[in-house]
Amino acid sequence: MIAKQNMKLKSLAVLALAGLLSACMSTAPQLGPDASAWSDYLSWYKVTPEPETGDPTGFLGSVHDGSNAFRQIYVNSLGQGVNQGTQNLPYPEGTILLKESFNNEAALQARRSPDLTLMIKLASGQSPETGDWEYVMGADGNRRGSGDSGLGAFCRDCHLFAAAHDYNFINSAFYERNQ
């Protein structure tokens, strides 16, 4: 039991470090659209009916601002059908999944400076290493991860746990399993 807890603490420490390291990881050249493609994301379908906090999937660790953060996920119209389960996987090219993370509930209420992370579905074969997703950090879209870049590998290595749903953790299937 104690050994197990130590393991858990150890893996949390590794994840915390990984979170810090992600700030200086190697990025990849931009493959998907630029930031204007998500400037109107507040009008997209909101995947999370309520802001989520804690660690509902059990895979979060300390990334995405950690389990104290309040997070909301959106999907653009291209990916909405797959997200809602009315269309088959995989997500079509051009799908954008966007997550906003607020440090705490007060920041959420005030909509104060959310951190944005995004996944953009590329054309088939464009980045097989990352399941043809381009991982993006930040609203300005300047930090991109695909191919064998450090950032692409960092995001992919955890989203791999959701590989059965095209690397996407939260969607209607997730809510159906957990209701």
Query: Contact, 88 vs 107, CB < 8 A?
Result: no
- Interface pattern 39-58 for ligand HEC (x via CB under 6 A): -------------x---xx-
Query: Contact, 135 vs 152, CB < 8 A?
Result: yes
Q: Which stretch binds ligand HEC (CB under 6 A): 36-44, 61-69, 104-112, 121-129?
A: 61-69
CA distances from 140 to 33, 39, 118, 143 (A): 11, 10, 11, 8
Q: Give the total of residues touching ligand HEC (CB under 6 A).
A: 29
* Interaction between residue 15 and ligand HEC (CB under 6 A): yes
* Interaction between residue 121 and ligand HEC (CB under 6 A): no
Q: Which stretch binds ligand HEC (CB under 6 A): 32-40, 87-95, 102-110, 165-173?
A: 165-173
Smaller CB separation from ligand HEC, 61 or 141? 61
CB of 152 to ligand HEC, least distance (A): 8
* Interaction between residue 85 and ligand HEC (CB under 6 A): no
DSSP of 110-167: HT---EEEEEEE--TTS-GGGTTEEEEESTT--EEE-TT-HHHHHHHHHHGGGGGGTT
Q: Which stretch binds ligand HEC (CB under 6 A): 26-34, 102-110, 120-128, 158-166?
A: 158-166
Who contacts 60 (Cβ-Cβ below 8 Å, separation ≥6)? 66, 67
Q: What's the rounded Cα separation, in Å, for the pair 161 and 10?
A: 19
What is the CA 13 to chain-centroid distance, rounded? Answer: 20
Smaller CB separation from ligand HEC, 59 or 175? 59
* Interaction between residue 120 and ligand HEC (CB under 6 A): no
Residue 46 has which token pair? 């909101």
Would you tell me which residues interact with ligand HEC (CB under 6 A)?
15, 22, 52, 56-57, 59-61, 63-64, 71, 73, 97-99, 117-119, 135-137, 154-155, 158-159, 162, 168-170
